[in-house]
Amino acid sequence: MLREHPQLTFRPEDVYTACVTEAALLWVAPEGFVVTTGETDNFTGDRTLLIWIAWAEERGIYDKGDAKTQYVKLAEEFGELAKALLKDDQPEVIDAIGDIVVVLTNLAKLGDLNIEDCIQSAYNVIAKALVKWLTEHL
């Protein structure tokens, strides 16, 4: 995958090292794997979630899939989350939330977006609202 996408800066050995040193988390499923980590900007303190997703490309999700199929998958995962919450099944809640994050990542990529940018955008809106509220109430 890295040979086909020279813009990616992570080498397999870097990803492996990040997982072994617990700087990243490796999520393994029969379909493939996902690696997640976070970075903190030393100057601003802003956190960025990084998601390295390899199996989606291997499975053809980006070539054969589209936003509509991923939206249907997202609805399915929300249903699984609701079921797990109703049953108070914590391992299934964790699994469902993880699946939702993966599907949202795929949905963003299919829309030529970056999931980290989407999360940062939402954070910026929340931060602005918080600053406004604090300004008005302090």
Domains of the chain as residue ranges with CATH: 12-137 (1.10.287.1080)
Query: Which of helix, strand or coil describes residue 58?
Result: helix
Residue 2 or 23, more confident: 23
According to the model, what pLDDT value does residue 137 have?
A: 81
Which token pair is 23?
């700087």
Other Cβ atoms less than 10 A from the Cβ of 8: the count is 11
Task: Give the Cα separation of 109 and 93 in Å (integer).
Answer: 24
Chain segment 98-109, per-residue pLDDT in tens: 889 888 888 888
Kind and range of the H or E element at 125?
A: helix 115-137
Q: What angle do CA 5, 98, 113 make, to 5 degrees?
A: 40
Which token pair is 57?
């490309």
Instruction: Write down the pTM of the prediction.
Output: 0.60
> Are 29 and 95 within 8 A, CB to CB?
no
